[in-house]
Amino acid sequence: MNRLVLLTGGNLGQREAILAQAFELISRRVGAVTAYSPLIESEPWGFESEHTFLNQVLIVHTELDAANVLQRIQKIEHELGRERKNGRQWISRNIDIDILFFNDDIIETEKLIIPHKHLHQRRFTLYALDRIIPDYVHPVLKSRIHDLLKNCTDPSKVEEYHV
């Protein structure tokens, strides 16, 4: 059994409903969600938008390998209305599902980099991770999530989301 850490998020449409749908589809098609962070609201990272993001970290136990996880989460994104725009890396979107960690593996292929290459730079990601796995040690950076959050220089406003 593999331990997978995913980040779901989006800033367009009915954010809570879309994240709930993503949670359900991941549970059915990828593996059992064994823990999850609260919903986190944050400013966009890497681009400007008037719409804030909702994000959530999910811990999933799966029998799939990382490549198959990627295929399935991209299919889920597509089914939930994600449109990938060539040429622009960061844009507003209704759903995004990122693989943050896969066991303690370090994977670098043309299609997949694990651990996620920007997670240590993003306060919203670290904030959500810190809520459920603060003592997990990043396999490349060799630092605990809590310490990465404490030392993160991202000035973005991040807070738990309350309806």
Q: What is the pLDDT of residues 40-61, one digit of tens each?
A: 999 877 656 678 899 999 999 9
Q: What is the pLDDT of residue 87?
A: 53
Q: What is the pLDDT of residue 82?
A: 73
What is the band of 77 on the pLDDT scale with cuts at 50, 70, 90?
very high
Give bridge partners of residue 61 from the DSSP assignment. Answer: 3, 32
Mean pLDDT value of segment 7-15: 92
Predicted confidence (pLDDT) at residue 89 exceeds the cutoff of 70: no
The overall pTM is greater than 0.85: yes
Burial 52-62, CB ≥16 within 10 A → b, else e: bbbbbbbbbeb
Distance of CA 88 to the CA centre of its chain: 19
Three-state DSSP string of 76-117 = HHHHCCCCCCCCCCCCCCCCEEEEEEECCCCEECCCCEECCC
Predicted confidence (pLDDT) at residue 86 exceeds the cutoff of 80: no
Q: Residue 53: what residue type?
A: F
Q: What is the pLDDT of residue 88?
A: 53
Identify the helix (H) or strand (E) that includes residue 158.
Answer: strand 158-160
Predicted confidence (pLDDT) at residue 125 exceeds the cutoff of 80: yes
What is the band of 13 on the pLDDT scale with cuts at 50, 70, 90?
confident
Q: What is the pLDDT of residue 85?
A: 63
Predicted confidence (pLDDT) at residue 141 exceeds the cutoff of 60: yes
Angle between helices 66-79 and 15-29 (to 10 degrees): 140
CATH code for the structural domain at 2-117: 3.30.70.560
Q: What is the pLDDT of residue 51?
A: 83
Work out whether the CA dihedral 4, 133, 145, 135 comes out positive or negative. Answer: negative
Q: What is the pLDDT of residue 93?
A: 76
